[in-house]
Structure 1
């Protein structure tokens, strides 16, 4: 079977668990060499071990995406390990729900620092490396993970919604800025995905009184807002994530955000 990402060198942020880990392992299974980057270095090492046990190549990097020097170091580590950087997937993100009148400066700043500024820094540092490698060695891919909240807003997660709207803006702006360098910028927008992040979000929503018991948020959204009548799992995301990464499947596509939400948001 042909491996769609054979020889591609990738950096994936927020890859110690959840969707990031699932995509890292899937990319490696499709032939990519992967730098698994996250603040949780122990989790990164576990993902690397699973990739190597299945015959893939991977390295781990401890990374705070809002720290430019650490991002630059992760990019360099990828290049040193694999020879170049073909793709970055900006998956790292955080959320902490609060009702609108309860949002604090600390809550706002923390979410925007990781989800918006962190994506910008990662895009910039990856693009600098790609440009240095020469456009003739492309095409290069930048993939940003958006959300249903890149196109919608709920009153209990306004800072997160703003940060994911910013991600959409950076997809569009980055596509316009980087096309001349043979770099495409696209993204995908998951909905309700059963991961550690959502399970924590579910607990937080109970804590602020949005729902009465744990698990109710996912079930309620599936029943009332998702056309497919179920929430998703990381495996539901892998096909789209691979399409955006694999050349030449998506080479003539840039500036786009593909929704993978079971029909939760249609615009």
Structure 2
């Protein structure tokens, strides 16, 4: 069953949502869920995800634009926000800094280049997405919801994921301080966790919190599993299955849609009194 069949698409809110890394995994689920909630969607992702964006377009009902964007480049983020407003109107109400990377290595094997790549995507990309979105929301004077991808690693680190855990601790800290500074503008900030310049977003008309996921059934976790299998000398699939069995108290791996539900709530009026939080959605894995 496709995501669009899970519930009725709500009437248009006349508001837009900007989602980085929105073509696959958690970002895809968030894009689909916010579209169902009535938002016009702007997906920003790297060039290699173009085909996957096309798959999202087939499912989403409503207004959607997409553009190539590398969050390591602040100018591309700024341009992406500007293009979103140009195409969808000055009604940006939700920004989701979802783009991220997980690299798996023991600390003694981490090179400066390895660490820098993770920092540029997970910290600089995250912070700059928040800041440029907030500037647009302040300009509009309508408030907004700024969300970002944390992780249970924002609270508890793990072996062989050191730089990743450090970046997610930073996400938690930036979520708190931006919520403090932007509350006066009616902006709530929370979290639950391309190489080509975006000189033109493809316009396709087909109709302050962080979310902190645990083990999610996505390509990112498939990568983590494969790398941990090498380090721990076990078969592919075993690293993930062992952690699901021993850590997740609800007894099943998390689906991207589980995270999207939290994002939907935080973006809604029901989440209006929540800000500065990094909310765990991990099936009890952090207990």
TM-score (norm 1): 0.92
Match of 1:78 in 2: 84
In structure 1, what is the Cα distance between the partners aligned to 2:264 and 2:277?
Answer: 15
Secondary structure of residue in 2 paired with 1:31: coil
Larger relative contact order (CA 8 Å, sep ≥ 6): 2
- SS of the equivalent of 1:6 reads coil
Among candidates 13, 25, 49, match of residue 18 of structure 1:
25
Structure 1: tracts of 5 or more residues without a match: none
Q: Secondary structure at the match of 1:259?
A: strand
Output the CA distance in 2 between the equivalents of 1:4 and 1:164. 35
Q: How does 1:51-70 map to 2 (within 5 A)?
A: 51=59, 54-70=60-76
Select the residue among 212, 222, 243 that pairs with 2:234: 212
Q: Who is 1:234 aligned against?
A: 256
The 3-state SS of whatever aligns with 2:271 is: coil
Residue of 181, 185, 192 corresponding to 1:181: 185
The equivalent of 1:141 in structure 2 is 145
1:171 alignment partner, one of 167, 172, 175: 175
Q: 1:233 to 1:5 in 2, by over 3 A?
A: farther
**Runs of 4+ in structure 1 over 6 Å off:** none
Match of 2:282 in 1: 261
| Cα displacement (A) at 1:238 | 2.0
Task: Output the CA distance in 2 between the equivalents of 1:211 and 1:257.
Answer: 34
Q: Could you say what secondary structure the match of 1:249 adopts?
A: helix
Distance in 1 separating the partners of 2:52 and 2:93: 20
- Whether the 8 Å contact between 2:107 and 2:160 is mirrored in structure 1 is yes
Aligned to 1:101: 108
Relative to structure 1, the CA distance from residue 177 to residue 206 in structure 2 (aligned partners, 3 Å threshold; closer, same or farther) is: same
Alignment RMSD, CA only?
1.6
- In the alignment, structure 2 segments of 5+ residues that lack a partner are 1-7, 193-211
Does the 8 A contact of 1:116 with 1:163 survive in 2? yes
TM-score, L = length of structure 2: 0.86
Check conservation: 1:72, 1:125, Cα contact below 8 A: yes
